[in-house]
Amino acid sequence: MSHLQRIPFGFGSLLLVLAAMLLTTPVRAALEPARIEAYIATLPAVRELGETLKSEGKQAFLARQIMPRAGEPFDPHHRAVQALQQGEPDYFRQLESTVLAQGFTSATSWANTGDQVVLAYGAVKVSAESPEMLALSQQGKAQRDMLLQTLPPQQREQLRQALTIADALAQVSVADREAVRPYIAELDRLFAQD
């Protein structure tokens, strides 16, 4: 009799489900300078694309798609790529051409790197400038719910978005924070242009 046959059915099934989850859960590769630099190199062209969308009155479409939502991952690049692919295929092709030219294998791989860089950048900045925001992510659900109930509806939604971002920033690995740290000044300059 094999070892697996001696395990009670419920436990063995649980192990198989957990193993399947581990095998299908995407694992992000650690940020490396080459990926960060390739992402940074795409930003001027991506900004131009954004300006074109804005001049055509389509920035609201994109803003609605990338807005952080409670209970969902904070992945604005990924959401933007999906929104362009589904709603603006010509702009999606332009974006994909831009990111392929910088060595990314697809717009999705660029989006994954972009989300990882932005989260690491945010974690470094918030840790230095607003550590109380990260403290919000450590509060229990009951405390959060009480805090949310004291606010008017519009402020409640803003705080929910801030909590979604704080939760995402609190989960950024130390390795990613350290990988992005040498690029903070350059990213500050690039992001300030928006």
pLDDT tens-digit map of 70-129: 677 888 899 999 999 999 999 999 999 999 999 999 999 999 999 999 999 999 999 898
d(CA 119, CA 78): 13
Taking residue 107's Cβ as centre, other Cβ atoms within 10 Å add up to 24
Question: At residue 10, does pLDDT exceed 50?
Answer: no
Per-residue model confidence (pLDDT) at position 11: 34
Beta-carbon contacts of 96 under 8 Å, excluding residues fewer than 6 positions away, are 106, 107
**Quick one: which of 38, 167, 46, 185 has its CA closest to 125?**
185
Beta-carbon contacts of 182 under 8 Å, excluding residues fewer than 6 positions away, are 33
- 4 — pLDDT class (breaks 50, 70, 90): very low
Per-residue model confidence (pLDDT) at position 70: 67
Question: At residue 18, does pLDDT exceed 60?
Answer: no
Instruction: Report yes or no on whether pTM surpasses 0.85.
Output: no
Q: Greater confidence, 68 or 174? A: 174
- Over residues 49-67, the mean pLDDT reads 83
